[in-house]
Amino acid sequence: LKLLTLARDLRRRKAREKQSLFSAEGVRTVEELLRSPLRVRGALFTNRLSDTPRGSELHTALQQQGIELLEVSDEEFVTAAETESPQGILAIAEIPDTTLDTLRLAERVRLVVLDGVQDPGNAGTITRTAAALGATALIAMPGTVDLWNAKVVRSGMGASFHMPVLAAGWAELASFTQAHSVSVWGADAAGVPLESVRAPARLALVVGNEGAGLSAEARQSADTLVALPIGSTVESLNVAVATGILLYQLRS
């Protein structure tokens, strides 16, 4: 029953940070986890996992990799799961030991910095988008949802298993960007039009909270504020959509 207790515990951010472990829920997420370099500690499953051929195959794959498995009842399972319809599978894996200092920087750098992004779905979609568009890493600043929250991991579709994701403070980010000549741009409706500025080779793009936008710290950190020109009937773009457009535009 140790795995069940552990999985329940890992629903708390503090426990994830202390143990350096997280939960991956759902067939697709666990499949991606097995394809990734991350170390899997064990998995909980219910008999519903074998309801689909894909679920059965995943069960076999977990067994073949010698991963500790515990079958639990549906009632026990829901006490450990965080996402909706977790499909009877939850794996526990090690959070990679990634910090700003361990990041490997190429000539071209694109960091995505989340400033108080609170919705797990948005954070997950940004993770997926950042990985798809070749971001160097994703950095969660204070006030942002934990990137190892099960809902974020799941809506990230496994992107966080391949791209470095980490949390940092503003002072830490500032020393890092200065030391490595990384320009910091903030996305803000009052900024200069994106088309009017040229992206530097090394860039950190800060995107703000869903309602409040950029924090005072983010504005202070940014060398430049850039805006996407949008029509007047809509107040703003969704933060994941805005991040996608900006990253795409700034890709070269």
Helix 120-132 × helix 239-249 angle, to 10°: 10
Provide, rounded to whole angstroms, the least separation between the CB of residue 244 and a second copy.
Answer: 4
Cβ closer to a second copy: 69 or 133?
133
Binding-site ranges for a second copy (CB under 8 A): 121, 125, 128-129, 131-134, 157-159, 162-163, 228, 230-231, 233-238, 240-245, 248-249
Max CA distance (Å), the chain? 59
CB of 136 or CB of 144, closer to a second copy:
136
* Minimum distance, C-beta of residue 231 to a second copy, in the bound complex (Å): 5
- Residue 16 vs 110, nearer CB to a second copy: 110
Considering beta carbons, is residue 42 or 124 the nearer one to a second copy?
124
Q: CA dihedral defined by 32, 34, 35, 38, rounded to 10 degrees?
A: 100
- Minimum CB separation from a second copy for residue 181, in Å? 24
Pairing of β 69-71 and β 40-45: parallel
| 18 C-beta neighbours (distance < 10 Å), count | 11
Residue 185, both tokens:
């741009």
Smallest distance, a second copy to C-beta of residue 30, A: 15
Q: Which is nearer to a second copy, 169 or 211 (CB)?
A: 211
Cα gap 149→154, rounded to integer Å: 9
Give bridge partners of residue 166 from the DSSP assignment.
139
Q: C-beta of 179: minimal distance to a second copy in Å? A: 27
